[in-house]
Amino acid sequence: MTFPVNTISLNDGTSIPQVGLGTYRLEDDDAYRVVSDAFVAGYRHIDTARIYQNEAGIGRAIRESGIPRDDLYITTKLWNGDQPKARDAISSSLDRLGLEHVDLYLIHWPAPQRGTYVDAWKQLEVLQEDGLTTSIGVSNFEPEHLDAIAAVSDIVPVLNQVELHPLFQQKALRAEHAKRGIATEAWGPLCHGSVDLAAEMPTLVNLAERYSKSIAQVILRWHIQHGTIIFPKTSSKERLVENIALFDFELNAADMGEIDGFDAGRRLGTAPADGNWD
């Protein structure tokens, strides 16, 4: 059984499936297995990165799926140390994926200490012109980083992929995205897997029971109704199905407001200014 997924329109005239599969910390063989299972469940949007070291496994799953390339949405990312050589980096990613182009290429972190992300953005523009990626965007960028890009470029990132979940809702940044025409994509949409959701937000148990859904589905549906693009990660077939079965129910306004009230400004991952690994 496959599940339908909404799409979100992007500022360059393209669209992206609102639900995808995250592959962080999946090694090649596991990535192959999980992505293959995801395709069977109806996923068509896969998020990876050079630093995840699983592009080859994902590429194998793509090749063996039999799914037409135009039906897939593949994202990968430019790593910090590769910012001065974006063309070499994307070419290597495409070789591992076995693709002629990706649908979305992101600057993974601004890594502002390096002073190279603005030039990297200009390189991404050329990669887009040359057809190596359909769309270009950023990840973990704050408004000052978006400002620095805007000062040298008229091309606005199609989206910014950031940490976003009920405990860290990034309301000011989401408003900034809306003002600039940038879509918001959430990594760690279920609190990065490091939080006991029922213990931290016990009223979610009642919400899940009321909608006959899991707590995870309630949270993911909250993201969906806020217009956020999500790509929860799992290696379980059961969870793969659960995480995409989000379009047969709707949270009412009061329940949306209740989850909105969980915001604690609590970042669970790395702050953008600190994401400066080699």
94-149 confidence digits (pLDDT tens):
999 999 999 999 999 999 999 999 999 999 999 999 999 999 999 999 999 999 99
- In the predicted model, is pLDDT for residue 4 greater than 90? no
Q: Which domain holds residue 23?
A: 11-265
- Decide if 275 is inside a domain: no
- Decide if 42 is inside a domain: yes
Asked if 272 contacts 109 with a C-beta cutoff of 8 angstroms, the reply is: yes
- Decide if 5 is inside a domain: no
Residue 43 annotated in active site:
no
- Decide if 3 is inside a domain: no
Which CATH number do you get for residue 232? Answer: 3.20.20.100
What mean pLDDT comes out for the span 189-210? 92
CA pair distance 124, 226, nearest whole angstrom: 29
pLDDT greater at residue 194 or residue 11: 11
- In the predicted model, is pLDDT for residue 194 greater than 90? no
Among residues 43, 52, 105, 117, the one annotated as catalytic is 52
- Decide if 271 is inside a domain: no
pLDDT of residue 192: 79
Asked if 78 contacts 89 with a C-beta cutoff of 8 angstroms, the reply is: yes
What mean pLDDT comes out for the span 241-245? 96
Name the band, by pLDDT with cuts 50, 70 and 90, for residue 1.
Answer: low
Asked if 184 contacts 168 with a C-beta cutoff of 8 angstroms, the reply is: no
- Decide if 272 is inside a domain: no
CA pair distance 207, 205, nearest whole angstrom: 5
pLDDT of residue 55: 98
Question: Residue holding tokens 């009642």?
Answer: 206
- In the predicted model, is pLDDT for residue 57 greater than 70? yes
- Decide if 126 is inside a domain: yes
Number of domains in the chain: 1
- In the predicted model, is pLDDT for residue 73 greater than 90? yes
Amino acid at residue number 246:
L
What mean pLDDT comes out for the span 245-265? 97
pLDDT of residue 30: 97
- Decide if 176 is inside a domain: yes
Q: Which of 34, 40, 78 is nearest to 58 (CA)?
A: 34
- In the predicted model, is pLDDT for residue 3 greater than 90? no
3-state secondary structure of 214: coil
